[in-house]
Amino acid sequence: MKGEVTTRVMVDLIKVTKFFPPDVTALIDISVSIQRGEMFFLVGASGAGKTTLLKLICNVEEPSKGLVEVAGEDLSKLKPRQIQKLRQRIGVAYQGFKLLPERTVAQNIAIAMEVAYKRKAVIVNRIRDLLLRLDLEDKHDTRVRDLSRGEQQRVGIARSVANNPELILADEPTGNLDGETTGRVMELYRQCNQSGATVIIATHDESIYTHTTHRVMELRGGRKISLTTASTTP
Amino acid sequence: MKFISNAIVQASRNIRAVWGSQLMTFVTVSLSVLIFSFFFLIYINMIQAAGHLGDNLRLIVYLEEEPNQKMKEQYRYKITTYEQVEDIRFISRRQAYERFRRQLGENSDILADMPKDFLPPSIEVYPIKSLRTLARAREFSEYLHTLPGVDRVQYGQEWLKRFYFFIKLLRIVVMLSGGLLILTSVFMVSSTIKLTILQRSAELELLRLVGASNAYIRTPFLLEGFFQGMLGSTCGLAALYLFYAWIRSRFSIPEIPGLFDFTFFSPQMAAAIVGASIILCVLGGILSIHKYLRL
């Protein structure tokens, strides 16, 4: 699938521009198509527009100009009910984590699955599996406020993939992690990708995309600077 | 099923999160229901009593002279052509005296020196049930007063006027206390749910981000209103019942047969009060959800 030209587009951005009043231009004329099942890196320095781009894709923000399509749907034309359904198919790991500090690790991860009305047994098994993979198995009942930043980041990542979403958006997912944990997180994303999920990772951590075979788009000052093509060998 | 269990879990979480406000709301709803239902209970018992009064309504037409058979026929004719009646009874001076003597019972010897025809003759008129209202009775009595040989007409006007005025007053109090119930239930529940929404704002934002449906977000708050309405009104009514039972056991209500049989609400009426309280509290929830969650 990777590197092939296909009509099965998961994310399609066409001449997307985003202004924030009064005078901040976050993105200018961005066009890119991301295929289903693709792993895609969005890179650039802080303030380059990576987070804004992810927010447009998950419909947290609306573009000032241009078109954003996800899974063939023009987001500007979706009704609230359709947006809710779409969001259940998208897993987002936020830069600020968006965790509930008074809830336990398990409760935080469960939220994404509860809104999709997954069975309790499924939720319990999925949480155990994710905590094991992210080296958090002893934190199941720990309140999030008692975790380190790195642990909180992993909880956010676990929640983003818990519901087996078709599209995973990760905003600086390794920002607070050491090398070994970064490896675990990237391995988790790779497995999700191999299972068919489209994964878009926004990062400025060169170590995770320098030798990648996947496409990398660089942003600077809200503009697309470069977009590499995918290759079969690193 | 999963939806309902999720909603119940979240609603109980909401209640625990701001339990102080929840308690205040519960107490306020209970008190409002207690106050309203107290006056309402008195009101419906008075209405019942008014119905019984109507049942016993009769007009007594005092005559100047004892009527002969022909005059009796004329009276009967004039009365029945003006208004439908159930019964007309002519009471002679002698019959009035005997009745009075029986009513005096042991004290009847005070009549010993009195002549047996000192009481005026009268006609007792029993209107049909549909005419037994104060206004119709007044009209009828005015007509009867115009009949020849009639001295005066009595049907307990002053007492009835006061009684109906009391009922009117009570109706106003019931309406005011009903208004109080509406305002406090809607306002208090709305405020409490607003507090819950503000306290859970981060979680609600997250729920939207992970694609929770409006029903998923909204239902726990509506359940919260439902519980407040149900528990508050049930406790309010229970308190009123205890008060009612205590009053009945401690004080014997004047026994006027068929007039004051002071009763509690029927199960249907109690259910209606609980239902109305639930609707009001859920309405409070809807207002808050609409205002603060824009759902």
Of A220, A184, A212, residue with least CA distance to A38: A212
Q: What is the predicted pLDDT for the residue at A233?
A: 46
Interface check for A90 against chain B (CB to CB < 8 A): the answer is yes
Q: What is the predicted pLDDT for the residue at B20?
A: 85
Cis preceding-peptide flag for A22 (omega within 30 of 0): yes
Q: How many CA atoms lie less than 13 Å away from B135 in the CB half-sphere?
A: 1
Binning pLDDT at 50, 70 and 90, where does residue B260 land? Answer: low
Average confidence score pLDDT of chain B? 86
Q: Rounded to two decimals, what is the model's pTM? A: 0.72
User: Can you tell me the ipTM of this complex?
Assistant: 0.87
Q: What is the predicted pLDDT for the residue at A184?
A: 93
**Is the pLDDT at B170 greater than 60, yes or no?**
yes
Interface check for A81 against chain B (CB to CB < 8 A): the answer is yes
Q: What is the predicted pLDDT for the residue at B254?
A: 54
High-pLDDT (> 70) share of chain B, %: 94
Q: How many CA atoms lie less than 13 Å away from B167 in the CB half-sphere?
A: 16
**Is the pLDDT at A1 greater than 60, yes or no?**
no
* Calpha distance A98→A108 (Å, rounded): 10
Which of residues B117, B135, B154 is at a domain's end? B154
DSSP B110: G
Residues of A in contact with B3 (CB under 8 A): 117
**Is the pLDDT at B11 greater than 70, yes or no?**
yes
Tally A–B CB contacts below 8 A: 46
B121 shares its domain with B201:
no
Crossing angle of helices B69-82/B134-146, nearest 10°? Answer: 140
* Calpha distance B91→B270 (Å, rounded): 47
B181 shares its domain with B83:
no
Q: What is the predicted pLDDT for the residue at B14?
A: 79
Binning pLDDT at 50, 70 and 90, where does residue B157 land? Answer: confident
Tokens 């009922």, residue located: B167
Which of residues B106, B121, B154 is at a domain's end? B154
The per-residue DSSP string of chain A comes to -TT---S-EEEEEEEEEEEETTTEEEEEEEEEEEETT-EEEEE-STTSSHHHHHHHHTTSS--SEEEEEETTEEGGG--HHHHHHHHHTEEEE-TT----TTSBHHHHHHHHHHTTT--HHHHHHHHHHHHHHTT-GGGTTSBGGGS-HHHHHHHHHHHHHHT--SEEEEESTTTT--HHHHHHHHHHHHHHHHTT-EEEEEE--GGGTTT-SSEEEEEETTEEEEEPPP-S--
**What does the pLDDT average to over B38-46?**
89
- What residue of B is the nearest CA neighbor of A115? B212
Q: What is the predicted pLDDT for the residue at B253?
A: 57
B11 shares its domain with B70:
no
B75: CATH:
3.30.70.3040
Contact at CB, A116 and B211, closer than 8 angstroms: yes
User: Which run of H or of E encompasses B127?
Assistant: strand B122-127
- The total of other beta-carbon atoms located within 10 Å of residue A68's CB is 23
Residues of A in contact with B212 (CB under 8 A): 84, 115
Average confidence score pLDDT of chain A? 91
pLDDT tens-digit map of A112-135: 999 998 998 999 999 999 999 999
CA–CA distances in Å: residue B219 to residues A82, A113, B6, B9, B202 = 19, 18, 9, 11, 18
* Calpha distance B140→A24 (Å, rounded): 87
Q: For residue A88, give the nearest of B205, B211, B214 by CB distance.
A: B211
> What is the radius of gyration, based on Cα positions, of chain A?
17
Task: Give B208 to chain A, closest Cα distance, Å.
Answer: 7
Q: For residue A100, give the nearest of B6, B206, B213 by CB distance.
A: B206
State the residue range of the domain holding B150.
58-154
Q: What is the predicted pLDDT for the residue at A48?
A: 92
High-pLDDT (> 90) share of chain B, %: 42
**Is the pLDDT at B158 greater than 80, yes or no?**
no
Q: Check if the beta carbon of residue B55 is closer than 8 Å to that of residue B143.
A: no
- The CATH number of the domain covering residues in A38-63+79-206: 3.40.50.300
B84 shares its domain with B31:
no
Q: What is the predicted pLDDT for the residue at A5?
A: 42
* Calpha distance A25→A48 (Å, rounded): 10
Lowest-pLDDT range of A112-116, B81-85, B93-97: B81-85
B183 shares its domain with B146:
no
**Is the pLDDT at B161 greater than 80, yes or no?**
no
- What residue of B is the nearest CA neighbor of A85? B211
Binning pLDDT at 50, 70 and 90, where does residue A231 land? Answer: low
B78 shares its domain with B208:
no
Q: For residue A115, give the nearest of B202, B205, B207 by CB distance.
A: B207
Which of residues B154, B184, B210 is at a domain's end? B154
Task: Give B211 to chain A, closest Cα distance, Å.
Answer: 4
**What does the pLDDT average to over A181-188?**
93
Residues of A in contact with B213 (CB under 8 A): 81, 84, 115
* Calpha distance B177→B188 (Å, rounded): 16
Binning pLDDT at 50, 70 and 90, where does residue B4 land? Answer: confident
B197 shares its domain with B285:
yes
- The total of other beta-carbon atoms located within 10 Å of residue B193's CB is 31
